[in-house]
Amino acid sequence: MSKKGSLVIISGFSGAGKGTVVKELMTRYDCYALSVSATTRAPREGEVNGREYFFKTKEEFEELIRQDALYEYACYVSNYYGTPKAYVQEQLAAGKDVILEIEVQGALKVKEKNPEALLLFVTPPSAEELRNRLLHRGTESEEVIRERMNRAAEESLLMDRYEYLVINDQLDDCVTEVHQLIQREHLRMEANTDMVTKLQKELKEMKGE
Ligand code: 5GP
């Protein structure tokens, strides 16, 4: 029986290390497909178009919105970010669990459209640790770091809309926890209605024998 994959949303404050968690998840397990987002933000050093993001101009991004080519999109610290629709749909149909690493507004929009989507929130153990990680990343100016910390304070007010909180203290443990949470979703009764129907039918037939 072919099974559709699940949609998994991983959010977390900028600097929480969710990118590293997702990368490690993809390296360890081959059951996941990672959606590559489109963004109008400039590439950071080492980022490759089509790998970390599809880098777009504002006009190109707005054209994607007009064409209804995005599953969701949001504005984050003065830039657009959005999830290309076609890839998500293809991969779900192929039975892959599709990972969206997106911010809170987009995540809640996806949840509205798709109530079965699993919402995971990744955070460092404290606000102090978050600021340290942003400072040590060294890729952002002080101004952007301040904006991202302010945004984290806003996002923290919506954290309780997520289903699970994963603390990224030890990377290895965090990745294992995320994998286990996703896999557990496949055991939910609602995710197994075909199997339930099949068993009910088989048992009914056997009863008559
Ligand atoms: P960064 O600029 O640090 O790569 O990403 C900034 C924020 O945008 C992160 O919280 C990241 O998860 C989020 N983000 C990345 N891609 C998308 C997307 O397609 N949609 C939404 N809504 N947020 C995204």
**Ligand 1 centroid vs 42 CA: distance in angstroms?**
13
Residue percentage of the chain with pLDDT more than 90: 85
Residue percentage of the chain with pLDDT more than 70: 99
Give pairs for 169-178: CB < 8 Å, separation 24+: 169/124, 169/125, 171/17, 171/20, 171/21, 171/24, 172/24, 174/17, 174/21, 174/122, 175/21, 175/24, 175/25, 175/28, 178/10, 178/21, 178/25, 178/120, 178/122
**Ligand 1 centroid vs 12 CA: distance in angstroms?**
10
pTM, to two decimals: 0.91
Residues of the chain with pLDDT under 50: none
Atom of ligand 1 nearest to the CA of 19: 12
Element (H, E) at 10: strand 7-12
Domains identified in the chain, total number: 1
Asked if 87 and 38 touch (Cβ cutoff 8 Å), the reply is no
pLDDT recorded at residue 2: 55
Residue 200, in any domain of the structure: yes
Atom of ligand 1 nearest to the CA of 101: 12
pLDDT recorded at residue 4: 79
Cβ-based burial of 120 (10 A; exposed 0-12, middle 13-18, buried ≥19): buried
Atom of ligand 1 nearest to the CA of 106: 22
| CATH number for position 156 | 3.40.50.300
CB 80 near ligand 1, within 6 Å: no
CB 14 near ligand 1, within 6 Å: yes
pLDDT tens-digit map of 82-94 = 999 999 999 999 9
Residue 1, in any domain of the structure: no
Residue 2, in any domain of the structure: no
Nearest 10 degrees: Cα torsion 47, 110, 119, 186: -110
Domain encompassing residue 25: 7-206
Residue 37, in any domain of the structure: yes
